[in-house]
Amino acid sequence: MALARLGLNCLKSSSRVRYGTFVVSSVLYFNFAELTNYDQYTSRILEPRSSSFPTRSFSIWPKNASAPAASIAKDEQPPQLSTSLPEGVDPYPTIDLAPEPVSASASDALTSASDSLTTASPAASESFSSAISALQYGDLSSLGLISYTPVGLIRSSFELINVSLSLPWLQTLILGTLLWRLFLLPFTIKSLHFSSRMALIQPQSKQIMSQMSSAQKNGDLVQMKKLQNDLSGLYKTVGIKSPLQGLVGPLVQLPVAIGMFLAVKGLCEYPLPQMTIPQFSVGAAAESLSSSSSILAQYLPDLTVADPTGILAPAFAITMFWQMTVTARDMDMSSQPAMAHVMNLMRFPGAPVFAIFMSTLPSGLVVSIITASLATGVQSLVLRIPAVRRYFGILPLPTTTGTETGAGAVDNQRKGLPSFMETFRWIKGWWKRQLEDAKRKAMEVEEQRKRSDSGRRRL
């Protein structure tokens, strides 16, 4: 009845006010009924139900009241367990939680057992090594190390060599590196074929290029077109269709070189369990090679960590120095004297500095880099043989006479890189020229500023 009277009173006000007042009044009424006489209110709305079911709450407000805890009489005692146990059994035994002291004999036995494990025999070590299973086809793919990139293809080739020939990973890295260098041999020959022909027409091409730059500054399009035709004809006289042919070799060699570094580095840093044991091998082929690598394997117990002996870093420095010395003999340094001195600086102090960096890399990666460097140097020596150059169509480098003088000059009759004393004089002259250019530019700026100040005063 109270709710009906509230609803009639709300009809007299506006529609929005009537609706809000009715809702608020209904909520207050329902919650007031729940708080005052909850059981009586719910019995009038809900149908009678069994007392085993809890009553249902219609309140929109949370109830914090908790059910009263069942009271236990003070004199009530837990049931006696003695009625269900056999006679003579204590229902409440005393439990001692403190452990008994270990006897001296047991302590000595544990100590001797730990010492025997620490000082394991070589046979036990070999049994631990044999516990690592041999690499199978698809293992690197299941580990996520194979992909359709140069890095993934190189790792796949290493897996093929290791599983097919049953080689230890030390020989696998060496053989895989040599095979990839052999793969790059045709592209190296192509680059030498191109550079030997470009060396024949280098004076004429430089003259035409200088004329083209002058015509471009003057805006003479007709002259530029004529010089371009002359340059194309000059290339055809030595069998070069396009100067872009010289980019084929570097575009193939660079991804393979970077991929080789990243592929071996990833295998060492994973790390691959089989690479932690250099003598890990299965099959007759590996047994035949194990004796040749036993000495090296003693100094490289784990290919996935840095060289513990420090031998590989100096070996890399010596190999890098030798490779750059041999490779520079095939380069024409007469047209690029600055490049000759830069390569000389890469020999020293460049090689020792790179050796310090290599000492922090995994030993397996350093072995692969040294192998690639040695293969490149031997390849350069072989391709310098006149019979080999004639067979592959590589022209001999022309002999020129020296025309440059001064601190930055390089004797064109000299084959290979300049001496370190010549490089030192070149650096000294280059530094002086840089200082003179800086002073000259500063004087030009100062003169320009003075002219601008004098012009402002006249105005």
**DSSP sequence for 313-326:** HHHHHHHHHHHHHH
Beta strand segments in 214-331, E: none
Q: What is the pLDDT of residue 344?
A: 87
Q: Which tokens go with 424?
A: 């030192």
Q: What is the pLDDT of residue 21?
A: 53
What letter represents residue 414's amino acid?
Answer: R
Burial of 348 (0-12, 13-18, 19+ CB in 10 A): middle
Q: What is the pLDDT of residue 160?
A: 95
Q: What is the pLDDT of residue 382?
A: 93
Phi-psi region of 88 (alpha: psi -120 to 50; beta: other; left: phi over 0): left
Q: What is the pLDDT of residue 285?
A: 45
Contacts by residues 412-417 (CB-CB < 8 Å, ≥ 24 positions apart):
412/333, 412/334, 415/329, 416/325, 416/328, 416/329, 416/333, 417/324, 417/325, 417/328, 417/333, 417/340, 417/343, 417/344, 417/347
Distance CA 161, CA 257 (A): 19
Q: Which tokens go with 300?
A: 């490289």
- Average pLDDT per consecutive 10 residues, the chain (459 residues; last block may be shorter): 51 49 50 46 44 47 46 48 61 62 53 50 48 84 91 95 91 95 94 88 88 87 89 89 86 94 94 76 46 60 88 94 86 73 88 92 94 94 91 76 41 62 90 92 89 76
At 147, is the secondary structure helix, strand, or coil?
Answer: coil
Percent composition of the chain: helix, strand, coil (DSSP 3-state, to 5): 65, 0, 35
Distance CA 347, CA 411 (A): 19
Answer for the pair 417, 344: CB distance below 8 angstroms, yes or no. yes
> For 332, which DSSP code?
-
Distance CA 346, CA 353 (A): 9
Q: What is the pLDDT of residue 223?
A: 87
Q: What is the pLDDT of residue 84?
A: 60
Q: What is the pLDDT of residue 93?
A: 67
Helix (H) or strand (E) holding 291: none
Q: What is the pLDDT of residue 239?
A: 86
Distance CA 53, CA 116 (A): 70
| CA within 13 Å, CB half, 342 | 5
What letter represents residue 278's amino acid?
Answer: P
Q: What is the CA radius of gyration of the chain?
A: 45
Judge if the upstream peptide bond of residue 301 is cis by omega within 30 degrees of 0.
no
Distance CA 411, CA 433 (A): 21
Nearest residue to 200 via CA among 243, 230, 238, 246: 238
Residue 251: partners with Cβ closer than 8 Å, 6 or more residues away: none
Nearest residue to 349 via CA among 277, 296, 424, 245: 424
Q: What is the pLDDT of residue 321?
A: 93
Answer for the pair 380, 330: CB distance below 8 angstroms, yes or no. yes
Q: Which tokens go with 187?
A: 């592209």
Residue 176: partners with Cβ closer than 8 Å, 6 or more residues away: 154, 157, 158, 161, 368
Distance CA 344, CA 28 (A): 95
What letter represents residue 176's amino acid?
Answer: G
pTM (two decimals): 0.64
Query: Could you tell me which residues are beta bridge partners of residue 362?
Result: 306
Residue 13 Cα to chain centre, angstroms: 77
At 235, is the secondary structure helix, strand, or coil?
Answer: helix
> For 189, which DSSP code?
H
Burial 8-35 (b: 16+ CB within 10 A, else e): eebeeeeeeeeeebbeebeeeebeebbe
Distance CA 438, CA 394 (A): 45
